């Protein structure tokens, strides 16, 4: 059984998806559709723009989705349809890419939703008030406990449970700094502040969740062609109203990636295709379940190599 997985923020790079767009008209059409939906040439920023501008949350989110969906269309052009997979899943914003790939959301609606999501997440907390840190070498239970201890009367939560040795905390800057210090005391291999512009996936994102609730209320969500493994539930979902609710919860809730991978493996998934920019998810998946074969798909060469493997 195969799962298609879609990357989140941090995977962006100038030039991503350009080879796919040049080689496949269907991939180019995705970038054109996203440009039209947003009323701007996001594709020009992605392919020849400034990295700092691309990294802005409101740009990175639709840009990464566009790149993932371009890769999906290229795969489809070579006979690899999404419904040949058993599940789709995405890390944070990647869940929107997964939903678009599975036909639950249109590409245009997904682009507009991610622009709202990116802006809402940025606007929720003034720059400098919140922070995130990656704690390596501690398990989720330990991190959840030390985050609660570090919080005091502020917010500090385990935000991303990425793999058995990598958990990200999010919250008020001082509380996250206390969590970093506590993690080092508890024997973390590394504990580092992350270069992010906002504290994602914690209670401080409540204003963004309200904005997303409003934005999602007006969008058509169809049943996906294969179940989408939801970040906040770590299991497959297919009911449109449930998907809508979970996307709102995802803004303030933890990304349960480790559990999502374990759940897919328990269902029989033995291979994962990471569709879009980067290879970060493949590394996480391998650390959760070594037996899952991972393939990164971001270029025409990657797609051509699939034929030789089958």
Measure the CA–CA gap between 125 and 199, rounded to whole angstroms.
8
Rg of the Cα atoms in the chain: 18
User: CB of 210 within 8 A of CB of 130?
Assistant: no
Q: Are 283 and 164 in contact (CB under 8 A)?
A: no
For the purposes of burial, counting CB atoms within 10 Å of the CB of 213, is it exposed (0-12), middle (13-18) or buried (19 or more)?
middle
Q: Where is 151: in which H helix or E strand? A: helix 140-151
Residues listed for the chain: 310
The verdict on whether 97 is a catalytic residue reads no
Q: Point out the catalytic residue in the list 92, 97, 197, 260.
A: 92
Q: Per the residue annotation, which of 170, 201, 265, 282 is the catalytic one?
A: 201
Torsional sign, CA 218, 219, 222, 224: negative
Rounded Cα–Cα distance for residues 58 and 9 (Å): 11
Q: Which two tokens stand for residue 287?
A: 């650390």
Q: Pick the closest to residue 298 from 18, 2, 1 (CA basis).
A: 18
Does 201 participate in catalysis according to the annotation?
A: yes
Which letter does DSSP use for residue 83 in this model? G
Question: What is the C-alpha to C-alpha distance for residues 163 and 307, in angstroms, rounded to an integer?
Answer: 30
Active site residues: 92, 201
């Amino acid at each position: 059984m195969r799962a298609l997985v879609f990357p989140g923020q941090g995977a962006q790079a100038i030039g991503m998806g350009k080879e796919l767009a040049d080689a496949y008209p269907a991939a180019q059409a995705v970038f054109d559709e996203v440009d039209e939906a947003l009323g701007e040439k996001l594709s020009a920023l992605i392919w020849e723009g400034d990295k700092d501008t691309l990294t802005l949350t409101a740009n990175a989110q639709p840009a990464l989705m566009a790149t993932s969906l371009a890769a999906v269309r290229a795969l489809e052009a070579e006979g690899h349809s999404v419904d040949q997979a058993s599940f789709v899943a995405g890390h944070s914003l990647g869940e929107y890419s997964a939903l678009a790939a599975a036909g639950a959301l249109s590409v245009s609606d997904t682009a507009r939703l991610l622009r709202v999501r990116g802006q809402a997440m940025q606007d929720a907390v003034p720059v400098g008030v919140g922070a995130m840190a990656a704690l390596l070498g501690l398990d989720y239970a330990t991190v959840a406990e030390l985050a609660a201890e570090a919080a005091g009367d502020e917010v500090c939560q385990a935000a991303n449970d990425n793999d058995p040795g990598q958990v990200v905390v999010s919250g008020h800057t001082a509380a996250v700094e206390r969590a970093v210090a506590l993690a080092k005391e508890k024997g973390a291999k590394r504990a580092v502040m992350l270069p992010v512009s906002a504290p994602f996936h914690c209670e401080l994102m409540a204003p963004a969740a309200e904005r997303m609730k409003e934005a999602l209320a007006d969008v058509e969500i169809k049943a996906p062609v294969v179940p989408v493994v939801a970040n906040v539930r770590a299991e497959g979902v297919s009911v449109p109203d449930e998907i809508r609710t979970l996307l709102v919860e995802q803004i303030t809730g933890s990304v349960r990636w480790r559990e999502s991978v374990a759940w897919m493996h328990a269902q029989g998934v033995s291979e994962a295709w990471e569709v879009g920019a980067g290879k970060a998810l493949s590394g996480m998946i391998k650390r959760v379940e070594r037996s899952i074969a991972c393939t990164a798909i971001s270029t025409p060469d990657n797609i051509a190599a699939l034929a030789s493997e089958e």
